[in-house]
Structure formats: C-alpha cells, structure tokens
A and B are shown apart, each in its own frame.
Chain A
C-alpha cells in the first residue's frame, strides 16, 4: 500500500475577510461614538429603580458636587450655548466677551463660576481652565445666579429638559435650594439623574 501523503498546506490565511469585518465594526463605532465633554467634577449619583432614559440633547443639567458646589451645563444643539452667552451679555452690558472667549464657552463643559468671574475663567488657557478649581454658582437667596442661568438657558432653548445630577454625599439643603430656584422660575417638572438599581417588585416575579 502506498503511504498516504498529507498535502502540505500553507499556514497563511487570507486576512481580507477579517479586515473587512474589522473596518466595518470600526466605522460603526466611529459613527456612533459621541465624545463626552469635559466634566470638571466627578459625581457619584445615587441609584433608583427608575428606568427612564435621558436623551442626549436638549438637556440643561445642574450638577451638585459632594462638597455642595453647584455647576451648570447645557448641550450645544443648534448653537444653544452661543445664544446663551449672547443673552447673558445682553442682560449684563458690563459682561462683553471676545470671540475667543465665546469659543471657549462653547467648547467648555460645565460652568461653575459666578458671573463676575466668568470672563476671567473663559480667558484662561485651555489647560489652565481644566486645572482651575471652580467655586460653584451662587444659589443664595440674596445672590441667586443659578436662576439667571436657568432662565437664560430656557430662553435659548425652549425645549430643554432640566436635570439635577447630585452626588450621593452632597448636603440636602443645597439640592433644596436648587429645587426652590426651579420653583421660582416655574420649573416644576425635572429629572434626577440616578444609577440603575434592581426593582424588587420585578425580582419577585422571577
């Protein structure tokens, strides 16, 4: 009997198909990715069973950090941020911004400085701005600048949804003050951003 000869096959595999798949996935991820803007504060939100998802645009967010500082953020759909800054300088003629500062305002994420310091903050170099420790927006009853931001933010984008993103450890009176400001400005419906927690009622059904 003749010996069976095993044909020697080349170990090189055709990579073209794999390459196709890789780049298909790559395009998908590149299209869907949306880079998160700078968040100057790290916030650990409490959890709830609520499953309502938040849209990505038309959001006016008030962040309350663990040390009780208040920050403001609004997304830039249809140039909302540009209009917002224009409205602020319209209302406060002493606050006029250069085109560079306007650009900085559009690109920067959360704002947590009093109006008086806003110009100085926007004038900083980008890296300095990231390092700058923001004092938070004043929410005292005598000097409630948060109300101004909310008012102008809503005028800049009437469809905006208002959310509060509070840290687990942030003191309740600060959140209370923020909510009181909302009520003053006739914002009676808003959302609290939370992490997902398992609903015990659903657990029972399993």
Chain B
C-alpha cells in the first residue's frame, strides 16, 4: 500500500494524462482455435459420396408364361458364367446338357481371364447374351465383379439367373477332373 501511495504522489504534479492503450489484441490463440476446429471439421467431412452401380431387373411376369411366349435363347449365343463358392470361375458357351459350343473351362477374375474370353466371344458372336449363374455358395463380391466386367466389356445383354442342376453337375465334373 505504501508504494501505491508513493506513486500517486509522484503523478500529482503532472497533468493528468490517460495512458494510451494499444488496441491490438493478440490473435494467436484465436487462430489456434480456428485451425483446430477446421481440422476437426475437415476430418469428419465426407467429401466422397459413394459410387453406385445401377441394375435393372426384368419385370416379374404375372401368372404362368408358356414356353412359346418366352423368348427362346439360341444355344450358340449363350455365354454362361458359373461362379463357385471358392472364388473360382468357369465358363462355357451353349446350353447344357447337350448343346455345347465351347467346352466348359476354368478361368479367373483377372483381365487375362474372363475379360479376354468375354471380349473375344463378344466380337465373334453377334447378339451374344451372357448368363451369370452364381452358385448358392458364391460371395457377393464375385457377383459384383462379374457385373462390373459386363460394364468394362460394354456388354449390354446379360442376365443374372439361378443356377440349374445341369450346371451344378457340370461343376462337379470339372472339379473332379483335377
């Protein structure tokens, strides 16, 4: 207290002048806070919207459809892809059991595998139809991969259908032959 009193006495003689305070505020902590929040929002924002693949299924027929009404597929134009449960892939052209144009063969998901076969046959045969037949053990990823192959090879005529007993039998034979 004594010191304070002393100070006051010193000032007494002079004119009373207000000390000019700087109007500047230190912005550094505010900038820190601002950038902290920016980082938070940047990290939580999802910029990339998910990609989608569009699929059109045929309209389910009402009631019974007779054999004649159905468009019969020519065996020579049918390209069958069988998707197995162990990430294995087989293809053949024709219709089982007796109308086979290209013998069943194993292939794989690579560019040299199914894509090559698809492109070759698609150039060779006009109006080729691809029949995708996943087995019950197949994994979703493999089916999407094959649907994607259709987009890559630009094949517009394809169908996702249930596997037939003939196909299953053929798969058995192919696997036993190893």
Contacts and interface: CB of A to CB of B under 8 A. Distances in A.
Contacts of B147: 48, 192
Contacts of A189: 54-57
A113 interface: no
A179 B57 contact: yes
Interface stretch (B25-33, B65-73, B100-108, B166-174): B25-33
Contacts of A182: 57
A125 to B, nearest CB: 25
B26 A194 contact: no
B96 to A, nearest CB: 20
B50 to A, nearest CB: 5
Contact of B42 (A29, A46, A175, A196): A29
A109 to B, nearest CB: 15
A81 to B, nearest CB: 20
Contacts of B136: 171-173
A32 B28 CA distance: 26
A22 interface: yes
B148 A22 contact: no
Q: How large is the interface on B (under 10, 10 to 19, 20 to 34, 35 or more residues)?
A: 35 or more
A15 B51 contact: no
B28 A15 contact: yes
A176 B134 CA distance: 10
Residue from A29, A32, A34, A197 with most neighbouring chain B CB atoms (10 Å)? A29
Residue from B26, B51, B111 with most neighbouring chain A CB atoms (10 Å)? B51
B123 interface: no
Contacts of B34: 19, 22-23, 25-26
Contact of A32 (B45, B49, B58, B115): B45
Contact of B53 (A33, A170, A194): A194
A168 B52 contact: no
Contacts of B9: none
Given A197-B148, A200-B152, A48 B51 contact: yes
B59 interface: yes
Contact of B49 (A23, A54, A166, A191): A54
Interface in A178-206: 179, 182-184, 186, 188-197, 199-201
Given A19-B27, A190-B55, 14 more contacts: A15-B28, A19-B30, A48-B151, A52-B52, A53-B52, A173-B136, A176-B162, A179-B160, A186-B60, A188-B57, A188-B58, A192-B53, A192-B55, A197-B148
Interface of B: 24, 26-28, 30-31, 34-35, 37-38, 41-42, 44-46, 49-60, 83, 111, 115, 134-145, 147-148, 151-152, 160, 162
13 contacts: A16-B27, A18-B27, A48-B144, A49-B151, A53-B50, A166-B144, A169-B141, A171-B139, A171-B140, A172-B136, A191-B52, A192-B54, A201-B152
